Amino acid sequence: LVNLTINGKAVSVPSGTKILEAAKKVNVKIPNLCHLHMDEINMVNQCASCRVCMVSAGRGLVPACGTNVKEGMVVQTNTPQALKARKTVVELLLSDHPKDCLSCDKNGSCELQAIAADLGIREVRFSGEHSTSPTDYSSKSIIKDNDKCILCRRCETMCNEVQTVGVLSGVNRGFNTEVGTFFNADMADTECTFCGQCISVCPTGALTEVNNIPKVWDALNQTEKTVVVQVAPAVRVAIGEEFGLEPGAISTGKMVAALRAIGFKYVFDTNFAADLTILEEASEFIHRLKEGKNLPILTSCCPAWINFIEGNYPDLLNLPSSCKSPQEMFGSIAKNYFGPKVINTDPKDMYVISIMPCVAKKYEASRSELGQGDSLDVDISITTRELAKMIKEAGIDLVNLEEESFDSPLGDSTGAADIFGATGGVLEAALRTAYEWVTDSELENVEFTQVRGMEGIKEASIDIAGTIVNVCATSSLGNARKIMDEVKAGNSKYHIVEVMACPGGCVAGGGQPYHHGDYDIVKKRAAGLYNIDSSKQLRKSHKNPAILALYKEFLGEPYGETAHKLLHTHYFD
Ligand code: HC0
Ligand code: SF4
* Domain parsing of the chain, residue ranges: 2-95, 131-209, 214-567
571-to-294, 394, 423 alpha-carbon distances in Å: 15, 40, 23
Indicate the pLDDT class of residue 47, thresholds 50, 70 and 90.
confident
Find the angle CA(20)-CA(514)-CA(412) to the nearest 5 degrees: 140
Helix, strand and coil content of the chain, in percent to the nearest 5, comes to 45, 15, 40
Decide if domain 2-95 falls under CATH 3.40.50.80.
Answer: no
104 classed as catalytic = no
Q: What digits encode the pLDDT tens for the residues 3-17?
A: 999 999 999 999 999
Give the pLDDT band (50/70/90) at residue 405: very high
- The CA–CA distances, whole Å, from 463 to 56, 278, 437, 466, 498 equal 60, 19, 13, 6, 18
| ipTM field | 0.94
Torsions phi, psi for 238 (to 5 deg): -130, -30
Task: Using pLDDT thresholds of 50, 70 and 90, give the confidence band for residue 130.
Answer: confident
List residues near ligand 2 (CB under 6 A).
Answer: 142, 158-159, 163, 165, 167-168, 192-198
Q: What is the torsional sign of CA 548, 306, 43, 94?
A: negative
Q: Which residues line ligand 1 (CB under 6 A)?
A: 232-234, 270, 274, 301-302, 325-327, 356-358, 361, 420-421, 426, 500, 505-506, 509
347 C-alpha to center of ligand 2: Å?
Answer: 33
Helix (H/G/I), strand (E/B), else coil: 395: coil
Q: Is 95 a catalytic residue?
A: no
The alpha carbon of 331 and the centre of ligand 2 are apart by a number of angstroms equal to 26
Judging by DSSP bridges, how do beta strands 2-6 and 9-13 pair with one another?
A: antiparallel
Question: 302 CA to middle of ligand 1, Å?
Answer: 7
CA angle (561, 283, 230) in 5-degree steps: 75
Confidence of residue 58 (pLDDT cuts 50, 70, 90): confident
404 is catalytic: no
In the structure, how many helices (H) and strands (E) does the chain have?
18, 21
Omega prior to 296 cis, within 30 of 0: yes
Given the residues 321, 322, 325, 381, the one annotated as active site: 321
Q: Specify whether the CB–CB gap between 248 and 286 falls below 8 A.
A: no
Cβ-contact 513, 384 below 8 angstroms: yes
Give dist(CA 83, CA 41) in Å, integer: 32
Atom of ligand 2 nearest to the CA of 510: 5
409 preceded by a cis bond (ω within 30 of 0): yes
pTM metric for this prediction: 0.97
CATH of the domain spanning 131-209, picked from 3.40.50.9100, 3.30.70.20, 3.40.50.2300, 3.40.640.10: 3.30.70.20
- Determine which one of 156, 328, 364, 498 is catalytic: 364
| List of E strands, 396-466 | 457-464
User: Alpha-carbon distance 521 to 505, whole Å?
Assistant: 13
Q: Selecting from 3.40.190.10, 3.40.50.720, 3.40.50.1780, 1.10.287.70, what CATH number does the domain 214-567 have?
A: 3.40.50.1780
